[in-house]
A and B are shown apart, each in its own frame.
Chain A
Amino acid sequence: MRLKRKSKVNAMPKGFVALCVLPALALVLVFLIYPTATAVVMSFTNAASLAAGGVDFIFLDNYIRMFTNDPHFIVALRNTLQILAVVPAVTIFMALVFAFGLTQSKLKEKSVYRVLFFLPSILSLVVVAVVFSALFHPRSTGPINMLIGWFGIDAIPWLGDPTFAIWALTIVMVWQAVGYYMVLLIAAIDGISKEIYEAADIDGASAIAKFFRITAPLLMDQIGITYVLALSGTMSISFILGRVMTNFGPGTATLVLPGHMYNMAFGPAASFGYAMAIMVFTLGMALVFAFVSRKLTVRKERL
């Protein structure tokens, strides 16, 4: 009798759960999986626009062109890889340092810093881009040029210099994202038992030792997750900043994959099929990075 009732209890929620999940699943299928599949199919065609008729299948031609006959794609790939190598790692490291500092220190104005660091994350990205365009103003009266001027360095046309432009964007990307990940990591650090830190204090561990021996290792899983979030976040931020601050220039010096895709799909180049091929490649690359970084952080946690 008891057994029977138990199985009934089990059966009820499962059916109900399935019913509850189905609408969401259906929405994902219709609005995510189906369009993505369509994009993959279009990447094998010469579609000129979303609205174009008379589309031919050209199979792998778009993908072959990307690597053999499109110097802009190679530049965009190199820039994207450079940004992905630097931005998420620096962002998460700085976020971790700030989070550690704000939770461990005895600063009175802790909550003020917390708000200040988080502030850039709630600003519109376009606003951030415009503000930094002004800060990086190329004349010697530009704020950043004035700053380096005090050290006797000549004014640099930051966003107009093919070497510096991408680094200027990198700085903005880190500045913009650090606060957000800091808040996530503060929540994670709050989850670490206070006793561990107290024990370390009794053993006379320095702040640096506590950071590297306690906080970082215990947060490895959260670091892994935030790193993956930062990877995908960086991808979209790089597009917005590039489009507003440099128009992906000078020349193509700050062209990134989403920017190249956008130009091809919606610009007058009217090459939707090719843009979808770039999209599929970018998606695949992002998935591989996310997978690899998760694998690495999970394994480290177990060691």
Chain B
Amino acid sequence: MKKRVWTMLAIGLISLMTLGLLSACGAGGNGDDDATTETVETTDTEDVGTDDTQDETAGDDTVLHIAVFEGGYGRGFWYDLIDRFEAAHPGVTVEMQISPDIETIIAPQIAVGEFPDFMAIPEQHAGFMTAMIQNRELLDLTDFFDSEALGHPGTSIRDMIIPGMLDSTAYAPYGDGRVYLAPFNASPMGPVYNITLFEEMGWSVPTTWDEFFAMDALLDDADTFVDIGGNEERRAIFTYQGIHAGYLESILWPAIAGAGGMEAIHAIENYEEGAWDNPAVREIIEIFARMGTEGYLMDGTVALDHTQSQADMMLGRALFIPNGVWFVNEMADAPREDGFEFAIAPVPTVAAGQPRYVLSSFEQLSIPAEAANTELALEFLRFFYTDETIISFAEHADGSLAIVGSREVAEDYLSPSVLNMLRAYDEGTFMLMSFAPIPAGLPLHMPQEIFDARMTPLMTGQMTVDQYIQEMEDLNAEIREAIEAEGN
């Protein structure tokens, strides 16, 4: 009996070793497989490249691997960009991996040391991007931005980018002025309203919070009620995406910037002591609490998801909802009030005359420092910042790039709704908000703490303003401590 156990164990061990060897071979083979699947994925663009390239080895040297997060802007723009880049660079082949779930495709490849040459993956959509920034694994792009732009002799690429962007933590994460991420698009976010309704009612968009709250009284008038399925309903002044409280960022940050200036925002971005326990910030937090506890929110808001709340707002149940330009496409099929037309307002201010800000959504482009073909990736990035790309992005994705004058260049290609929303920049000052990196592995993410974990409790009175501010200060203290510990 005992003997048999030993025999079985021995057989087991031997087969395990064989399996280990097999799997090692498998892993080696896998690398090759990857290349083939990628080729298949982009056959349409691939063919052009291979036809031009007679020599196989030359083709190998000039393959650019790019990884793209597929968001609301779709794929058409990227296919067009690749076609144009390949046409302008004979012999070069671009192989693209594009998916809404790009993190699950790319992270395992990076884990075994296979870096894409170029990434269009925004930090907020992929934890591994946060990790790469924390670990300083991206290529320094500072010199690139100081080099000359294509088609604009004598102009640096830096000069093309919307002023202030490259100084933001979103692109220069380490606070030393060096740029590691490149701007992709830029579009306004903020309180979206139905401009037709405002015109019909003769309302003007509130510029101060007092005006905002005063507007609520107007809604008691039965003439302003909305007819939904034969029911006359009183409109509410505000709603948000309920269980996805993160959307409130497009109100919170511009409101804080308006009350406390961009210094207040920078203090929060950098976890400074007193960043939250600041009279200007407190005023804004009080406004948020008031909005919820004093009945300005649409009924049931806190229990709705983004689709439900957005649909309600478009039906006329609420005047404002925080959102961005993707709203237009996202809800393209949703029923809406007659004549509904999107517009974004700059966020109201506490006192009249304070500057009004518009938070911009942003996505990032980057090049891994360990990428095989950084030279070609930089060439691709240079190619990205051209007027042709601005037009292509408007044409294929109805979006606006983070380049000065994008809107004017692409005016004929953008839809009226998007153009309307982009006008928010005419009335308010462009701003970005992005937290400075924290030590790798520290299980904290400030937007999650600020919005998801606490904003609804604050607005429903479960949490007081003092509690909210104190907890933010405590979290900041913890992050500061971790940063100091890492520095030592």
Contact = CB atoms under 8 A, between A and B. Distances in A.
Interface of A: 11, 14-15, 18-19, 22-23, 25-26, 29-30, 45-56, 58, 62, 65, 69-70, 72, 133, 136-139, 142, 155, 157-162, 165, 245-252, 263-275
A54 B304 CA distance: 41
B240 to A, nearest CB: 12
Contact of A271 (B11, B300, B308, B441): B441
Interface string B413-444: 00000000000000000000000000111111
Given A14-B4, A138-B299, A48 B441 contact: yes
19 contacts: A22-B15, A26-B16, A45-B441, A48-B127, A48-B134, A49-B128, A51-B131, A70-B443, A136-B303, A137-B300, A157-B302, A158-B303, A160-B242, A160-B460, A245-B243, A251-B453, A267-B445, A268-B124, A268-B126
Given A14-B4, A268-B127, A48 B440 contact: yes
A268 B123 contact: yes
Given A18-B11, A22-B11, A251-B456, A51 B110 contact: yes
Contacts of B483: none
B135 A53 contact: yes
A160 B244 CA distance: 11
A51 B302 contact: no
B237 to A, nearest CB: 17
Contact of A268 (B108, B242, B447, B453): B447
Contact of A160 (B16, B127, B456): B456
B456 A52 contact: no
Nearest to A271: B443
Given A160-B301, A249-B243, A270-B134, A52 B128 contact: yes
A265 B127 contact: yes
Contacts of B16: 26, 29
A72 B12 contact: no
Interface in B79-131: 103, 106-111, 123-124, 126-128, 130-131
Interface residues of B, number: 57
B8 interface: yes
Contacts of A52: 128, 131-132, 134-135, 440
A74 B123 CA distance: 28
Nearest to A138: B300
Given A157-B300, A269-B443, A270-B127, A249 B452 contact: yes
Interface string B240-260: 001111000000000000000
B127 A138 contact: no
A103 to B, nearest CB: 40
B8 A18 contact: yes
A51 B128 contact: yes
B340 to A, nearest CB: 21
A19 B11 contact: yes
A72 B131 contact: no
Interface string B269-302: 0000000000000000000000000000001111
